[in-house]
């Protein structure tokens, strides 16, 4: 299948068929960089490169999944599933499961999310007796994270007088000690935080040449998307792994570098040539995504940045409509404008909701938009913000599961040792922590040996602690014999968590109970998927890893039709026919925090460039003259970025005032007089109210089926499908959708079918597979 290269223009084909050796594609938005990466992988496989030897690093796991699907379409076989593809974090978490033991980590190490890290840091600050108003745990966590991403270990920190002094000057001289304690505590708990996944990979590859050699040999071809946003730690991993074969292909756009606040380093692009010697350099200039107006407007914006590689971006697409700018008196009105406009466009053009995206600078802006969409019954989904797995009740249940897998997990233990309440007070926990630190053991180990230690804990409390240990151990035994769903359900009941929220009786308690049910459904889904998979590896621990690294974007299966709401940062790499960029106001976008230096302002401008170039057909830029921020109604001024777009490409939907300045606030004009004052009240988001009215998802369907047995689909351990399944048969699967049987093997209970579904290839045990022949 060589003609797939016809799907590329000449400039794109060159990097795709580039022979071995390093190559870099630097090109503007929408010019096909991601496409080049995808096709290059397919091409390599067509040329006989073993799919096991290819590693591709993407910005989200969702992007990786889509890429795999595309590759499977092109190469037309099941090889695509052997590709190592995903985000840096998920790929290297996997690698550390195999080889992290060399650094002293158990293969079932826990992954601490940001919240876990922050809680641990807060408790260390408290244990050290420091003032929490000076040592703010979030700030300290940020600092530690940036040290780690720059590979500044604790030792390196103390050896660097500049760092030590900087913290002393900031009146936080004990930051280094907190860092040290934090690292020790994570290690003792058998836990890695997000940054560790990169830092420890680096450590592993540096300290163990044989491990490095193994992975260099394995990943002979490495490809990186969005290279402009890799941080130093990621850069070094890629550098080390590609050092031997130098088959490294990176694609990126310096104009879209938007993560420098997280340590992303644009010099990674600029130095690539220096680092790798003979580099194939490719440029793409044709944009396939957007109309002429959008492409030209975006060019006119980015031209204002001084520090930019020279680039041409053009398109042969239609001129399209002008970019529409809209002013509203308030943020609530802005929300209403966006909702009405989406509604109108949908109706006039007969478009699905998924064609629309609303992008904003900060998460808190979503509320006004949500209110308006809800009033118009337009289904939407918010990406980012607090994800499902970070909700309190979900983290509580997960904490028990984490303890089952890794009882040393300190944050999980502290979370649930007294939840639901079992009379184990904070003083007792503090004593356990002190003892654990003293003996260099985990809290759980201390609890296991209470009898032998003199901890000044009264006997009643001791019994309670011992009961807790016994309970966790009983869960561990259960984990050996039953699947994760049975265990999780047992835990939710046995520990009393479900009862706790039920007793609560408030709408919030009920919502929490429902969330736990939803989690159980998710686990069941996962378990069923695993059961069917002939070559499934892990059970509960694999589920926990998925959960720890999942972003909401990843979970988006695109199977329900909703308007997408997200920050611009998250929208990188995505595209939508209609894009609304809201809150185009000074101090909001550009952000008030980013106007102190030229380089900060330039990063904001790149962010604007990213936002605008997401749009395929039509872009709207909206701003409000008054906005609720920090609980107050404040005057807002139109963003300077609006002034920066070449006038040729814009259309003002709202009249311009006479004050000379095109977008000057109209606060005193009669427009403000027309505002419904009731809308100026800040409405608190109602917790527990489902944000959308939409088609039920699989989990909800399952619930419905449970409720109404008459519409239940048969479930059970033995499958009753038509035995006439053969290679080439078309089938329908309850989870994976339509598919085609590629291969059948085994007999009787072991009979398996390899099936190519739309998005994935699976090997299913027919005994369990929920298949229907169509």
Residues that bind ligand ATP (CB under 6 A): 7-9, 12, 27, 29-35, 253, 256, 288-289, 573, 575, 613
Q: Select from Mg ion, ligand ATP, none the partner in contact with residue 9, using the beta carbon and a kind-dependent cut-off of 5 to 8 Å.
A: ligand ATP
Q: Select from ligand ATP, Mg ion, none the partner in contact with residue 4, using the beta carbon and a kind-dependent cut-off of 5 to 8 Å.
A: none
Say which of 395, 614, 617, 763 is annotated catalytic.
614
Q: Select from Mg ion, ligand ATP, none the partner in contact with residue 22, using the beta carbon and a kind-dependent cut-off of 5 to 8 Å.
A: none
Q: Select from Mg ion, ligand ATP, none the partner in contact with residue 331, using the beta carbon and a kind-dependent cut-off of 5 to 8 Å.
A: none
Looking from the CA of 200 toward its CB, the CA atoms found within 13 Å total 30
Positions that interact with Mg ion (CB under 5 A): 33-34, 573
Using an 8 Å Cβ cutoff, are 721 and 753 in contact?
no
Q: Which is nearer to Mg ion, 573 or 638 (CB)?
A: 573
Q: Which is nearer to Mg ion, 228 or 265 (CB)?
A: 228
Say which of 12, 33, 58, 148 is annotated catalytic.
33
Q: How far is the CB of 609 from ligand ATP (least distance, A)?
A: 10
Say which of 110, 256, 524, 692 is annotated catalytic.
256
Q: How far is the CB of 614 from ligand ATP (least distance, A)?
A: 7
Residue 33 annotated among the catalytic residues of the structure: yes
Q: How far is the CB of 395 from Mg ion (least distance, A)?
A: 33
Q: Which is nearer to ligand ATP, 293 or 524 (CB)?
A: 293
Q: Which is nearer to ligand ATP, 570 or 771 (CB)?
A: 570
- Which value, in Å, is the radius of gyration of the alpha carbons in the chain? 28
Q: How far is the CB of 573 from Mg ion (least distance, A)?
A: 4
Q: How far is the CB of 39 from ligand ATP (least distance, A)?
A: 9
Q: Which is nearer to Mg ion, 284 or 450 (CB)?
A: 284
Using an 8 Å Cβ cutoff, are 222 and 55 in contact?
yes
Q: Which is nearer to ligand ATP, 29 or 140 (CB)?
A: 29
Helix axis angle, 61-75 to 33-46, nearest 10°? 50
Residue 646 annotated among the catalytic residues of the structure: no
Say which of 226, 254, 552, 602 is annotated catalytic.
226
Q: Select from ligand ATP, Mg ion, none the partner in contact with residue 618, using the beta carbon and a kind-dependent cut-off of 5 to 8 Å.
A: none
Give ∠ CA 90-91-95 in degrees, rounded to 5.
115
Burial class of 40 by CB neighbour count within 10 A (0 to 12, 13 to 18, 19+): buried
Strands 761-765 and 615-629 come out as unpaired
The sign of the CA dihedral 170, 174, 178, 184 is positive
Q: Which is nearer to Mg ion, 252 or 329 (CB)?
A: 252
264 beta partners:
231
Helix axis angle, 459-481 to 484-494, nearest 10°? 160
Task: Give the Cα separation of 712 and 385 in Å (integer).
Answer: 35
Say which of 225, 528, 532, 585 is annotated catalytic.
225
DSSP result, 244-300: TT--EEEEE-GGG---GGGTB-THHHHTHHHHHSS-EEEEE-B--SS-HHHHHHHHH
Q: Select from Mg ion, ligand ATP, none the partner in contact with residue 31, using the beta carbon and a kind-dependent cut-off of 5 to 8 Å.
A: ligand ATP
Q: How far is the CB of 575 from Mg ion (least distance, A)?
A: 9
Residue 637 annotated among the catalytic residues of the structure: no
Residue 131 annotated among the catalytic residues of the structure: no
Task: Give the Cα separation of 581 and 574 in Å (integer).
Answer: 14
Residue nearest to Mg ion (CB): 34
3-state SS assignment for residue 308: coil
Q: CB-based contacts of 134: which residues, under 8 Å, 6+ apart? A: 171, 172
The sign of the CA dihedral 754, 759, 760, 766 is negative
Q: How far is the CB of 576 from Mg ion (least distance, A)?
A: 14
Task: Give the Cα separation of 118 and 137 in Å (integer).
Answer: 6
Q: Select from ligand ATP, Mg ion, none the partner in contact with residue 32, using the beta carbon and a kind-dependent cut-off of 5 to 8 Å.
A: ligand ATP
Residue 463 annotated among the catalytic residues of the structure: no
Helix axis angle, 175-188 to 137-149, nearest 10°? 80
Residues forming the annotated binding site for ATP? 27-34
Residue 225 annotated among the catalytic residues of the structure: yes
Residues forming the annotated binding site? 27-34
Using an 8 Å Cβ cutoff, are 229 and 257 in contact?
yes
Kindly list the catalytic residues: 33-34, 225-226, 256, 614
């Amino acid at each position: 299948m060589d003609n797939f290269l016809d799907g590329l223009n000449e400039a794109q084909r060159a990097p795709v068929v580039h022979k071995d050796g390093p190559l870099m594609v630097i090109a503007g938005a929408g010019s096909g960089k991601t496409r080049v990466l995808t096709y290059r992988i397919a091409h390599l496989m067509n040329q006989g490169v073993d799919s096991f030897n290819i590693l591709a690093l993407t910005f989200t796991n969702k992007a990786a999944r889509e890429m795999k699907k595309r590759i499977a379409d092109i190469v037309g076989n099941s090889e695509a599933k052997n590709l190592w593809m995903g985000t840096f974090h998920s790929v290297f978490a996997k690698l550390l499961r195999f080889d992290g033991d060399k650094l002293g980590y158990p293969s079932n190490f826990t992954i601490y999310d940001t919240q876990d890290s922050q809680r641990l840091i807060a408790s260390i600050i408290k244990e050290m007796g420091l003032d929490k108003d000076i040592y703010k745990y979030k700030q300290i966590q940020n600092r530690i994270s940036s040290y780690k991403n720059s590979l500044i270990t604790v030792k390196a920190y103390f050896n660097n007088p500049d760092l030590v002094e900087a913290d002393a000057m900031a009146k936080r001289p004990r930051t280094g000690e907190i860092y040290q304690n934090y690292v020790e505590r994570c290690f003792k708990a058998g836990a890695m935080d997000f940054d560790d996944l990169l830092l420890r990979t680096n450590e592993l590859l540096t300290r163990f040449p044989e491990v490095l050699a193994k992975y260099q040999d394995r990943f002979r071809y490495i490809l990186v998307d969005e290279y402009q946003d890799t941080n130093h730690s990621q850069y070094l991993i890629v550098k080390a792994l590609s050092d031997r074969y130098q088959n490294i292909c990176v694609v990126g756009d310096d104009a879209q570098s938007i993560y420098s606040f997280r340590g992303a380093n644009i010099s990674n692009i600029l130095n690539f040539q220096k680092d790798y010697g003979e580099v194939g350099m490719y440029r793409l200039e044709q944009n396939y995504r957007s109309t002429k107006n959008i492409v030209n407007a975006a060019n006119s914006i980015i031209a204002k940045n001084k520090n930019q590689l020279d680039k041409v971006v053009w398109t042969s697409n239609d001129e399209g409509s002008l970019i529409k700018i809209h002013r509203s008196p308030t943020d609530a009105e802005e929300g209403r404008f966006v909702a009405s406009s989406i509604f109108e466009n949908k109706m006039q053009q007969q478009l699905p909701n998924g064609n629309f995206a609303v992008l904003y600078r900060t998460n808190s802006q979503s509320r006004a938009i949500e209110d308006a969409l809800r009033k118009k019954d337009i289904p939407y989904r918010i990406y980012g913000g607090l994800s499902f797995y970070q909700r309190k009740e979900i983290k509580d249940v997960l904490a028990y599961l984490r303890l089952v897998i890794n009882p040393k997990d300190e944050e999980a233990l502290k979370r649930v040792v007294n939840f639901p309440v079992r009379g184990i007070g904070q003083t007792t926990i503090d004593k356990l922590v002190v003892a654990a630190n003293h003996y260099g053991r985990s809290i759980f180990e201390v609890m296991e040996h209470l009898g032998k230690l003199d901890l000044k804990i009264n006997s009643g409390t001791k019994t309670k602690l011992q009961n807790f240990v016994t309970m966790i151990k009983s869960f561990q035994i259960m984990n050996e014999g039953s699947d994760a769903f049975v265990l999780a359900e047992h835990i939710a009941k046995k520990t009393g968590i479900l009862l706790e929220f039920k007793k609560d009786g408030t709408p919030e308690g009920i919502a929490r109970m429902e969330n736990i049910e939803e989690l159980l459904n998710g686990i069941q889904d996962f378990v069923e998927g695993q059961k069917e998979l002939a070559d499934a590896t892990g059970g509960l621990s694999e589920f926990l890893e998925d959960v720890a690294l999942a972003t909401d974007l990843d979970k988006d299966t695109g199977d329900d039709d909703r308007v997408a709401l997200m920050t611009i940062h998250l929208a990188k790499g995505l595209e939508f026919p209609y894009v609304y960029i809201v809150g185009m106001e000074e101090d909001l976008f550009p952000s008030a925090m980013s106007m102190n230096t030229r380089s900060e302002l330039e990063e904001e401008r790149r962010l604007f460039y990213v936002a605008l170039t997401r749009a395929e057909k039509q872009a709207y830029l909206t701003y409000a003259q008054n906005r609720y921020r920090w609980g107050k109604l404040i005057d807002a001024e139109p963003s300077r970025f609006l002034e920066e777009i070449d006038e040729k490409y814009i259309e003002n939907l709202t009249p311009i005032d006479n004050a000379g300045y095109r977008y000057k606030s109209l606060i005193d004009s009669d427009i403000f007089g027309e505002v419904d004052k009731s809308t100026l009240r800040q409405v608190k988001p109602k917790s527990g109210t489902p944000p959308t009215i939409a088609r039920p998802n699989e989990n909800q369907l399952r619930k419905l089926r449970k409720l109404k047995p008459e519409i239940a689909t048969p479930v059970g351990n033995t499958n009753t499908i038509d035995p006439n399944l053969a290679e080439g048969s078309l089938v329908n699967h309850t989870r994976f959708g339509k598919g085609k049987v590629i291969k059948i093997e085994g007999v009787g209970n072991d009979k398996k079918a390899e099936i190519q579904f739309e998005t994935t290839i699976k090997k299913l045990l027919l005994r369990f597979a929920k298949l229907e022949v169509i």
